[in-house]
C-alpha cells in the first residue's frame, strides 16, 4: 500500500515516463529473425567493396569498406528476405525479377560482382539443403529424351527471333566470339570465331559437313561460302530453322546448305567433318555416351569433329536453379572430367583441346550493352519483368567467366592420330597478333562502372 501524496505523485510520474518509453519502443522497428540472419552473414562475408542494404523495416545496414560509389539495395518484404536467406542461388534472381529486391544506387553488374567476389568465390552462397538436393537429383534434371529436349529448346530459342536481333551480331551468332585483340568489334570477333573453327575442321573443297545445333545458320553458310563445302544443319528450334532456310535462299546457298528440324540421335549417314557449337550444354550428363557414340558413328574414318561448349572449371556440379527455371531448362555446363572419359569410350581420339577463358566474358559484355541500348524495344516485345530477367541472365553469365567459374572448351576429335596437323601453327595467321585481354577487377572498380555506362 502506498502512503502519502508525495509518494503517489512520484509513482504516477514514473508510470507516465515508462509509458512514453514503451510507446517509443513500439514505434522503433525491430530487426526480424531473417534480417538478423542476413545481417550477420553479410557482416562476415563482405570484405571488398561496400554494400548498403535497406531492410524491410526501413533500417539501413552498411557492409564492407568505405568507397565513393557503394551499391545500395532495398529488400521490400520479410517474405522476400526469408526466401533469399533460405535459398540465395534461386531467390536472389527471383527477387530482382519481381522487384522484391530493388537497386537504389549502382548497377546490377556491380551488385552481382560484389556478391561474387565476397561470397560466391568462397563457395558460401549455397544453401546446404537445396544445394545437396540439386546435386543429388541432377541426373533427373538433365534427363533429356527427345520430346523433353524439344520442349527445352522451344523455351529458350522459340521466344521470338526479334529478341535475338536486339543484341546479337549481324550474323546472329549466339555463342562465344573470338577476340584476338581487346578492341575487336563483336561482328569481327564472331567472324574470327567462325574462321577459327573452320581451320580446326581441316576442311577441303567438297567436304560434307554436319552442323549439330546449327542455330540461325550463320556458321553453316560461312563454311559453305568460304570453304566450298556442303553443310547439313540440324536444330530443334522452329524459329531458327525457318530463318536459317530463308537466309540460305536469300544468299543463294540453298544448293550447298540445307537445314532440318531433327534430333541428333536420329541422324544417319556419314560426314567428312562434324561441328557442334553451343549445343552440348543442352545434352545432359545421362546422354553423353549417346552423343559421342553418334559423333563416332557419323564421322568418316579420316574426318575431324569440333565440339565447342561452355565448361565448368571447379569440376562436376549442378545447374544454377534460377538459370534452370527461367533460361535453360534441362541444361548443364560440363566439367572436362565428365567429357573426356566418354569420348574415350566412344572410340574417338582427342586431337586437341583449347580453353577460351575470357572470350565469352567479352562476348556477354557486348551482348548486354546492346541489349540495354534496346531495352525499351525488348519491353515492348515482352514486359519490364522480362527485361530484368534477361539482364540478370546476361550479367550472371558474364561474371561466371570473369571469375573463372566457366570457360569455353573447344575439343578437336577424330578417329586417327594424323587427322589434324601436328602443331597449332595452322590456327593462327600472322595478322591475328593477340595481346592479352585483361581481367576486369572485382567489386566497385571504376572500370566496372565505366563499362556498365557504355
CATH number, residue 77: 3.30.1050
pLDDT tens profile 218-259? 999 999 999 999 999 999 999 999 999 999 999 999 999 999
Residues 6+ apart with CB under 8 A from 339: 288, 309, 311, 409, 411
Q: Is residue 359 part of a domain?
A: yes
Domain co-membership, 85 together with 216: no
Q: What confidence score (pLDDT) does residue 273 get? A: 98
Measured N-to-C along each axis, helices 33-45 and 78-86 cross at an angle, to the nearest 10 degrees, of 50
Answer yes or no: is 69 within a domain: yes
Considering the domain boundaries, does residue 399 fall inside one? yes
CATH code at position 223: 3.40.50.150
Residues contacting residue 214 through CB under 8 Å, at least 6 positions apart: 220, 233, 234, 235, 240, 244, 259
Same domain? 300 vs 266: yes
> What is the torsional sign of CA 368, 372, 374, 378?
positive
Please state, in angstroms and rounded to a whole number, the distance separating the CA atoms of residues 444 and 112: 11
Residue 421 backbone zone (phi > 0: left; psi -120 to 50: alpha; other: beta) = beta
Shared domain check, 255 and 131:
no
Assess whether 259 and 279 both reside in one domain: yes
- Are residues 361 and 290 located together in one domain of the fold? yes
Name the domain count of the chain: 2
Domain boundary, last residue among 136, 169, 202: 136
User: Are 234 and 379 contained in the same domain?
Assistant: yes
Residue 436 lies in a domain: no
pLDDT tens sequence across 333-373: 999 999 999 999 999 999 999 999 999 999 999 999 999 99
Q: Which region holds residue 272: left if phi is over 0, alpha if psi is between -120 and 50, else beta?
A: alpha
| Same-domain check for residues 215 and 343 | yes
Q: Residue 97 sits in which domain range? A: 33-136
Residues 107 and 160 in one domain: no
Say yes or no: 334 and 243 in one domain: yes
Q: Do 180 and 305 reside in the same domain of the chain? A: yes
Do residues 116 and 169 both lie within one domain?
no
CA distances to 50, 66, 398, 402, 439 from 46, rounded to whole Å, are: 7, 12, 21, 19, 21
Residue 427 covered by a domain? no
Question: Long-range pairs for 61-67 at CB < 8 Å and ≥24 separation?
Answer: 64/114, 64/118, 64/443, 67/444
Residue 444 falls within a domain, yes or no? no
| Residue finishing a domain among 136, 160, 191 | 136
**Residue among 92, 79, 76, 97 at smallest CA distance from 34:** 79
Residue 117 lies in a domain: yes
Last residue of a domain, one of 136, 167, 199: 136
d(CA 194, CA 222): 7
Q: Is 270 a member of any domain?
A: yes
pTM: 0.86
pLDDT tens track, the chain, 454 positions: 434 444 333 333 434 444 444 444 444 456 689 999 999 999 999 999 999 999 999 999 999 988 888 999 999 999 999 999 999 999 999 999 999 999 999 999 999 999 999 987 665 555 566 676 777 767 777 888 999 999 999 999 999 999 999 999 999 999 999 999 989 999 999 999 999 999 999 999 999 999 999 999 999 999 999 999 999 999 999 999 999 999 999 999 999 999 999 999 999 999 999 999 999 999 999 999 999 999 999 999 999 999 999 999 999 999 999 999 999 999 999 999 999 999 999 999 999 999 999 999 999 999 999 999 999 999 999 999 999 999 999 999 999 999 999 999 999 999 999 999 999 999 987 655 445 444 444 444 444 444 444 4
359 with 372, same domain: the answer is: yes
Alpha-carbon distance of 351 to 349, in angstroms, equals: 6
Amino acid at each position: 500500500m502506498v502512503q502519502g501524496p508525495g509518494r503517489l505523485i512520484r509513482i504516477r510520474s514514473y508510470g507516465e515516463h515508462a509509458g512514453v518509453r514503451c510507446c517509443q519502443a513500439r514505434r522503433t522497428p525491430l530487426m526480424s529473425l531473417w534480417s538478423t540472419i542476413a545481417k550477420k552473414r553479410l557482416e562476415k562475408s563482405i570484405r571488398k567493396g561496400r554494400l548498403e542494404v535497406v531492410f524491410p523495416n526501413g533500417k539501413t545496414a552498411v557492409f564492407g569498406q568505405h568507397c565513393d560509389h557503394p551499391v545500395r539495395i532495398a529488400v521490400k518484404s520479410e517474405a522476400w528476405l526469408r526466401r533469399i536467406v533460405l535459398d540465395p542461388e534461386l531467390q536472389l534472381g527471383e527477387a530482382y525479377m519481381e522487384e522484391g529486391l530493388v537497386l537504389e544506387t549502382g548497377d546490377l553488374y556491380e551488385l552481382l560482382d560484389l556478391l561474387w567476389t565476397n561470397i560466391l568465390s568462397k563457395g558460401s552462397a549455397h544453401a546446404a539443403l537445396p544445394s545437396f538436393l540439386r546435386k543429388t537429383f541432377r541426373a533427373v534434371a538433365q534427363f533429356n529424351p527427345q520430346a523433353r529436349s524439344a520442349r527445352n529448346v522451344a523455351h529458350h530459342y522459340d521466344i521470338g527471333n526479334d529478341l535475338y536481333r536486339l543484341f546479337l551480331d549481324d550474323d546472329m551468332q549466339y555463342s562465344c566470339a573470338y577476340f584476338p585483340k581487346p578492341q575487336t568489334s563483336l561482328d569481327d570477333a564472331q567472324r574470327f570465331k567462325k574462321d577459327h573453327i573452320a581451320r580446326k575442321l581441316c576442311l577441303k573443297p567438297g567436304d560434307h559437313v554436319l552442323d549439330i545445333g546449327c542455330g540461325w545458320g550463320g556458321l553453316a553458310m560461312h563454311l559453305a561460302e568460304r570453304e566450298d563445302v556442303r553443310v547439313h544443319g540440324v536444330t530443334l528450334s522452329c524459329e531458327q530453322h525457318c530463318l536459317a532456310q530463308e537466309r540460305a535462299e536469300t544468299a543463294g546457298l540453298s544448293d550447298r546448305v540445307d537445314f532440318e528440324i531433327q534430333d541428333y540421335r536420329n541422324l544417319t549417314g556419314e560426314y567428312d567433318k562434324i561441328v557442334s557449337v553451343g549445343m552440348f550444354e543442352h545434352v545432359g550428363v545421362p546422354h553423353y555416351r549417346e552423343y559421342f557414340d553418334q559423333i563416332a558413328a557419323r564421322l568418316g574414318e579420316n574426318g575431324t569433329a569440333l565440339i565447342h561448349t561452355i565448361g565448368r572449371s571447379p569440376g562436376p556440379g549442378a545447374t544454377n536453379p534460377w538459370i534452370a527455371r527461367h533460361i535453360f531448362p534441362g541444361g548443364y555446363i560440363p566439367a572436362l572430367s565428365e567429357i573426356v572419359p566418354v569420348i574415350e569410350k566412344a572410340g574417338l581420339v582427342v586431337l586437341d583441346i583449347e580453353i577460351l577463358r575470357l572470350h565469352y566474358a567479352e562476348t556477354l559484355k557486348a551482348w548486354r550493352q546492346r541489349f540495354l541500348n534496346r531495352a525499351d524495344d525488348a519491353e515492348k516485345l515482352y514486359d519490364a519483368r522480362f527485361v530484368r530477367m534477361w539482364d540478370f541472365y546476361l550479367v550472371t553469365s558474364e561474371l561466371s567467366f570473369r571469375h573463372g567459374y566457366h570457360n569455353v572448351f573447344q575439343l578437336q576429335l577424330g578417329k586417327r592420330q594424323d587427322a589434324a596437323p601436328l602443331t597449332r601453327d595452322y590456327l593462327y595467321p600472322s595478322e591475328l597478333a593477340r595481346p592479352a585481354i585483361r581481367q576486369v577487377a572485382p567489386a566497385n572498380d571504376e572500370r566496372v562502372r565505366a563499362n556498365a555506362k557504355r
